Amino acid sequence: MTLQVFGLPVARGVAIGKAVLVASSRVDVAHYFINADQIEAEIGRVRQARNTVADELSTLKREMPDDAPPELSALLDVHLMLLHDESLTGATKQWIRERHYNAEWALSAQLEVLARQFDEMDDDYLRERKADVEQVVERLLRALARGESSALAPAAGKVVEDWGGEEPLVLIANDIAPADMLQFKQSVFKGFVTDVGGKTSHTAIVARSMDIPAIVGAREASRLIRQDDWVIIDGDAGVVIVDPSPIVLEEYRFRQRQSELERERLARLRHTPAITLDGEQVELLANIELPQDAPAALQAGAVGVGLFRSEFLFMNREGELPGEDEQFEAYRAAVQAMQGLPVTIRTVDIGADKSLERLSLSELRHEHTLNPALGLRAIRWSLSEPSMFRMQLRAILRASVFGKVRLLIPMLAHAGEIRQTFEIIARAKQQLRDAGTPFLDVEVGAMIEVPAAALMIPLFLRYFDFVSVGTNDLIQYTLAIDRADESVSYLYDPWHPAVLRLIAGTIAEARGASKGVSVCGEMAGDPAFTPLLLAMGLRSFSMHPSQIASVKQRILRSDTSKLALHVAQTLGSDDPQASFRKLAGDAGQIH
């Protein structure tokens, strides 16, 4: 029976494929496809792991002290029984044979299936046996990790691109942390859905950068959708259709072809300069997470990188944070890939939904806080770790010799933070000079993402060469809405008059002071906001490479001199969206 699940659309388009459920607790397990001639070896790994665990459990049982509670021994018997049950290891082997999953993935996929069956049981006792299966799987995964690794295993947790299968796959998960999302970047998945997350959560942002249809905040999706269900992901409407009828499927296949054609058409704009009807030149920059994203930025026609989220280099690491040389290599790679175009590197903006939890960072004072979005994050964290901060600054400055580097500081709000930041930059430069390491002078900019910064913009303009408006956080902090929390996502409103006034004020003041101003939050990549931002005087937009063409199309059809006439009235309205649509729409200025 067809079922529909609703969520928040975060990346446009239509994806049709078979569901692959990835348990959130298991996303750090390696997911990759094996070749047909690897199947027997992979099954051998499962067999080997099962033998190892059977030995472990038997030894535990044998060596159990006499005074141990009898339940313990009974529990070990249950675990041994589960271990040998066909529904666990037998079915795991089937995933390997039929779907070419690696052993770890196959095991976690089968755990998903079993956990669901247990959840649906009426009997409390049986329902509780789910924990036993989980424990056995945990042991098996540990045994697999200790045993011989697969010849095909890619670098930690990476998903290989080609699985040789015919059917397209879509990823369904309860939640995927932004860091884990990275491992799916180069993957086979044609679309994805998560139960949790807001439209501008970092998971959604990484998903958008993957340029595949995606929906977050779909609440029950991972419970309602089953492994191998056929699903349609409608990334425009935010709906997942499970087990669609042939007629619905046909309709969506048609829409899929249409959006592919549209995409091809837009791709032709790549070399067209972004100039409005009244001759205003607009700069379209790219947001990237890793140096590997730079070629896509060039390919999309970006004239530089407006935001390199350097914190993604700091995530997904089991050991230490990246050292100066490793960071330098990454920044240099991005700078060289951009072939002389500017690259704006933002210093680490960790915290909130971008945590470094996998590292043991207690010594870095990044512990759980009650309200992480308001805690020790971004520049606050950097200033609390001056040697780390200087190391990152040195690495960025060193990369300046290889192209045009700009430095961007996140989440400043206080004059004291600004002064401290410049002192540390000066110290990092001095250290490089003392060591005889070459670097060039770089422009330094501030993210305007805290309302206090937007309200105090003249102060920022005195210190900084340019400012970049981070609308994702600016909206979050202005409206007191956690951007990653789907339960309040209906209040996350970029059209709110308070938000628009802060943005308009920042743009106007920066232009008045002849300082560069851009917007690098998600609003910049949403064509629905392009006319209004142009009307406010914005001439520099930074967004995911995949969004550049549609924003450019809007720019080519806009007349800024006419649009600008509506700004005052729009900002004065208590419903700016309706107001601007009416004013500019009636005048035929929004296309």
Ligand X SMILES: C=C(OP(=O)(O)O)C(=O)O
Nearer to ligand X, 174 or 287 (CB): 287
Query: Is 202 one of the catalytic residues?
Result: yes
Q: What is the DSSP string of 442-485?
A: -EEEEEE-SHHHHHTHHHHHHH-SEEEE-HHHHHHHHHT--TT-
Tell me whether residue 208 or residue 390 sits nearer to ligand X (CB atom). 208
For 551, list phi and psi in degrees, rounded to 5: -70, -40
Give the shortest CB-205-to-ligand X separation in angstroms. Answer: 6
Contact present, 308 and 345 (Cβ < 8 Å): yes
Least spacing, CB of residue 132 vs ligand X, in Å:
41
**Nearest residue (CB) to ligand X, 238 versus 351:** 351
Q: Please report how close the Cβ of residue 314 comes to ligand X at its closest, in angstroms.
A: 13
Shortest distance in whole angstroms from residue 448 CB to ligand X:
9
Q: Is 366 a catalytic residue?
A: no
- Tokens 């999706």 locate to 221
Min. distance of Cβ 42 from ligand X in angstroms? 38
Q: Which is nearer to ligand X, 473 or 526 (CB)?
A: 473
Which residue lies nearer to ligand X by CB, 79 or 539?
A: 539
Smallest CA-to-CA distance from 396 within 465, 307, 325 is with: 325
3-state helix, strand, coil in the chain (%, to 5): 55, 15, 35
Rounded distance between C-alpha atoms, residue 392 and residue 394, angstroms: 5
Least distance to ligand X from the beta carbon of 348, Å?
11
| CB 410, CB 349: distance < 8 Å | yes
User: Residue 508 burial by CB count (10 A; 0-12/13-18/19+): exposed, middle or buried?
Assistant: middle
* Nearer CB in complex with ligand X: 201/276: 201
CA nearest to 172, candidates 154, 147, 194, 188: 194
Write the DSSP string, 136-195: HHHHHHHHHHHSPPPTT--STTPPPS----SS-EEEEES---HHHHHHTTTSS-S-EEES
Query: Shortest distance, CB of residue 39 to ligand X, whole angstroms?
Result: 41
What residue ranges bind ligand X (CB under 6 A)? Answer: 205, 307, 309, 349, 449, 470-473, 520-521
Contact 460, 446 (CB under 8 A): yes
Tokens in use for 590?
């929004």
Q: Pull the structure tokens for residue 358.
A: 């996998």
CA distance 22 to 39: 21
- Number of CB atoms found within 10 A of residue 524's CB: 28
C-beta of 309 vs 380, nearer to ligand X: 309
Nearest to 304 by CA among 342, 264, 252, 260: 342
Task: Round the CA-based radius of gyration of the chain to a whole number and report it.
Answer: 26
Measured from the CB atom, the residue of 53 and 519 that comes closer to ligand X is 519
**Shortest distance (Å) from residue 288 CB to ligand X:** 11
SS3 at position 3: strand
The strand pair at 239-242 and 230-234 is best described as antiparallel
Among residues 31, 100, 202, 366, the one annotated as catalytic is 202
Catalytic: which of 366, 520, 544, 566?
Answer: 520
The residues annotated with a catalytic role in the active site are: 202, 520
